[in-house]
Amino acid sequence: MSFIHKTVLLTEAIDGLGIQPDGIYVDGTFGRGGHSRLLLSKLGEHGRLIAFDKDPHAIAEAATINDPRFQIVHEGFAGLARALDALDVGQIDGLLLDLGVSSPQLDDGSRGFSFRFDAPLDMRMDTTRGMTAADWINSAEEKDIAEVIRDYGEERFAKQVAATIVAGRADQPIATTRQLATLVAKAVRTREPGQDPATRTFQAIRIFINRELEELALILPQALARLKPGGRLSIIAFHSLEDRIVKRFMQDSSKAHMPNRLPLRASEMPVPPLEIVGKPIRASAEEVRDNPRARSAILRVAQRTEAAL
């Protein structure tokens, strides 16, 4: 079965990169290639695009792009520096990240990301390696389950959900999305309007299983170190946890660190390594009507300065 993916903030994210026709760019989250294809269309003959993705389905989709300027790496973006070294690439002109889960991953019930389907509880973005959500949920300590659901799902009833999960798995192993969603529904006493009681728990477990926040924290300093002066970061986040990491990194990297108690003229002020470009961009009302999953998307752009790290 084929699944449709509508790329969020497509033109805005590519425009944010300020494409140089002969530049070297990285798409850290290839997905189904919406951003990559538009980026390639703006590159000249000597431009280059290196894309990363964990998902074997994304890798298969990337194989349909027959373009000598394009290369796909089957790895998470946290391996950026190592992969670029292997490809003999030093500095790059821009990095694009479209964070979160793609529509095909959510809409393919067999992947186990969504409580809307009854399917094996997997949740791995890379189905070729690593622990599944079922492996973890059936073996983790109750306190660890509660911490994950609280910290990554911002769920008020995290302790109750964890206790219900542990009690439920004592009767039989939790193997499917429906089993987990049913248990969570028993523990979440109040529901947010229009939101399933399992939403926050599923988000939390997915983030944990795929190390999404850890990998985001790892890629940002690597990207900064690899960007040429004038190179840009263009990053789309979909929930507050990942956007907070991006926002803080950009803000911290765009502030000059003053030597203590030294009087300096304006011309002597240290230059920070990043400069924030414009204001955060959200999807238009028209895009949200066409693609409701764009509602929470927020795009932030920053540019590398001449300053040394």
Count of C-beta atoms within a 10 Å radius of residue 214: 13
Q: Amino acid identity of 17?
A: L
Residue 213 near residue 152, CB atoms below 8 Å: yes
Distance CA 195, CA 25 (A): 37
- Report the C-alpha gap between 307 and 16 in whole angstroms: 21
Q: Tell whether 251 is in a known binding site.
A: no
- Cβ(106)–Cβ(57) below 8 Å: no
Scored b (16 or more CB within 10 A) or e, 243-264 reads: bebbbebbeebbeeeeeeeeee
Do the beta carbons of residue 278 and residue 292 sit within 8 Å? no
The reply, when asked if residue 53 is annotated as ligand binding, is: yes
Is 130 annotated as ligand-binding? no
Do the annotations mark residue 34 as ligand-binding? Answer: yes
Query: 243 a known binding residue?
Result: no
- Residue 98 marked as a ligand binder: yes
The binding site consists of 33-35, 53, 77, 98, 105
Annotated binding site for S-adenosyl-L-methionine: 33-35, 53, 77, 98, 105
